[in-house]
């Protein structure tokens, strides 16, 4: 990968596209990852961090829950402990997600509120449009499913969650490459309300993965490049590879203990 200009979508336009930062893939524990996202959001709101796209993996594998969820209602904590899976509460709403280190890629987009539509669903549609184009680059026909999902063949392959603070937006979400779906449903307590509504007897039928749809194995790099190009295309920006700044890392280090605390995890 070229170190300076990673993605440059050629298009007919009068002005050169706006530059956003693309961070290299990181592998962190859940608490650090959540802290980095919050640090980027806060500093972007203060004008101290550029608009950014990043990708990361969770080590160890983690269940993240939405900020309004009750951990005890959503997660089988005994199973999590048994398999060494961390559990963390996000600052974004939405549902519980199993982030499998071996089979799931997570992305974050942080930008100024003015750079996406004010309407919440429209802003999801724009950012998730990057994923849709990314899946298309991988050879899949994907579509945005309101409010916050991307589907392939009618099944969820990606879910996202967004928050807005002080004039900036953080949207992060999952790309299911080849996660352990059996373990996923062992860890998550799926609401009977949710299943019955869809008239589906098995939860397995609601979710799919890149590997299952493409019928071949592929690496994280291949998915990441496709998604980066997809984001650049959908957002109409040029992604330029950069690094986290010292200020961002320092703020993340300050925020990390909150995410690791029992108080935060058991807030609801």
Q: Is 173 in the site for other proteins (CB under 8 A)?
A: no
Lookup: tokens for 125? 């549609």
Nearer to other proteins, 190 or 249 (CB): 190
214 binds other proteins (CB under 8 A): no
C-alpha span between 43 and 203 (Å, rounded): 39
The answer to whether 128 and 74 have CB atoms below 8 angstroms apart is no
Q: Which is nearer to other proteins, 7 or 96 (CB)?
A: 96
| Candidate segments 45-53, 186-194, 206-214, 237-245, binder of other proteins by CB under 8 A | 186-194
Piece of the chain touching other proteins by CB under 8 A; list 98-106, 150-158, 187-195, 215-223: 187-195
Cβ closest to other proteins, residue 48 vs residue 267:
267
| Residue 73 interacts with other proteins (CB under 8 A): yes or no | yes
CA-nearest of 252, 246, 260 to 42 is: 252
**Interface with other proteins by CB under 8 A: which range of 24-32, 55-63, 157-165, 202-210?**
157-165
Tally the residues of the chain.
268
Burial class (CB in 10 A: 0-12, 13-18, 19+), 214: middle
Give yes or no for residue 194 binding other proteins (CB under 8 A).
Answer: yes
What is the b/e burial string over 159-189, where b = at least 16 CB atoms within 10 angstroms of the residue's CB? Answer: bbbbbbeeebbbbbbbbbbebbbebbbbbbe
For residue 154, give every residue at least 6 positions away whose Cβ sits within 8 Å of its Cβ, in sequence order, or none: none
Q: Rounded to the nearest whole angstrom, what is the least distance from the CB of residue 170 to other proteins in the complex?
A: 12
Nearer to other proteins, 14 or 263 (CB): 263
Residue with Cβ nearer other proteins (61 or 69): 69
* Residue ranges in 118-147 that form contacts with other proteins under rule CB under 8 A: 120-121, 146-147
What are the tokens at 104?
Answer: 């799931």
Q: Does 69 bind other proteins (CB under 8 A)?
A: yes
| Interface with other proteins, residue 94, by CB under 8 A | yes
Contact with other proteins (CB under 8 A): which of 5, 18, 46, 70? 70
Is 51 among the residues that bind other proteins (CB under 8 A)? Answer: no
Q: Does 162 bind other proteins (CB under 8 A)?
A: yes
Contact stretch for other proteins (CB under 8 A) within 11-19, 190-198, 229-237, 251-259: 190-198
Q: State how far the alpha carbon of 57 is from the alpha carbons of 95, 106, 230, 268, in Å.
A: 19, 6, 19, 26
Size of the site for other proteins (CB under 8 A): 27
Residue closer to other proteins (CB basis): 18 or 146 = 146
- Sequence-distant (6+) residues with CB within 8 A of 31 are 86, 88, 256, 257, 259, 260
Please tell me the number of Cα atoms within 13 Å of 213 on its side-chain side: 21
Q: How far apart are CA 48 and CA 218, in angstroms?
A: 36
């Amino acid at each position: 990968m070229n170190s300076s200009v990673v993605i440059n979508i050629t298009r007919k336009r009068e002005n050169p596209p706006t530059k956003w930062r693309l961070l290299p893939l990181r592998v962190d524990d859940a608490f650090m990852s959540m802290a980095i996202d919050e640090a980027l959001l806060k500093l972007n709101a203060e004008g101290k961090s550029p608009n950014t796209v990043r990708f990361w993996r969770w080590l160890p594998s983690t269940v993240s829950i939405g900020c309004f969820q009750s951990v005890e209602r959503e997660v089988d904590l005994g199973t999590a402990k048994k398999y060494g899976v961390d559990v963390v509460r996000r600052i974004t709403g939405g549902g519980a997600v199993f982030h499998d280190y071996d089979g799931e890629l997570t992305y974050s987009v942080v930008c100024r509120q003015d750079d996406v539509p004010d309407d919440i669903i429209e802003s999801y549609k724009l950012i998730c449009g990057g994923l849709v184009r990314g899946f298309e680059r991988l050879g899949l026909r994907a579509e945005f499913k309101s409010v916050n999902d991307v589907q392939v063949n009618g099944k969820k392959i990606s879910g996202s969650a967004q928050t807005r603070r002080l004039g900036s937006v953080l949207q992060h979400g999952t790309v299911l490459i080849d996660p352990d779906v059996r373990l996923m449903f062992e860890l998550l307590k799926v609401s009977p309300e949710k299943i019955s509504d869809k008239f589906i007897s098995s939860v397995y039928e609601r979710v799919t993965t890149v590997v299952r749809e493409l019928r071949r194995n592929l690496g994280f790099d291949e998915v990441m490049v496709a998604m980066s190009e997809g984001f650049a295309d959908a957002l109409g920006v040029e992604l330029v590879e950069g690094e986290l700044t010292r200020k961002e890392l320092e703020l993340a280090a300050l925020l990390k203990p909150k995410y690791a605390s029992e108080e935060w995890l058991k807030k609801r």
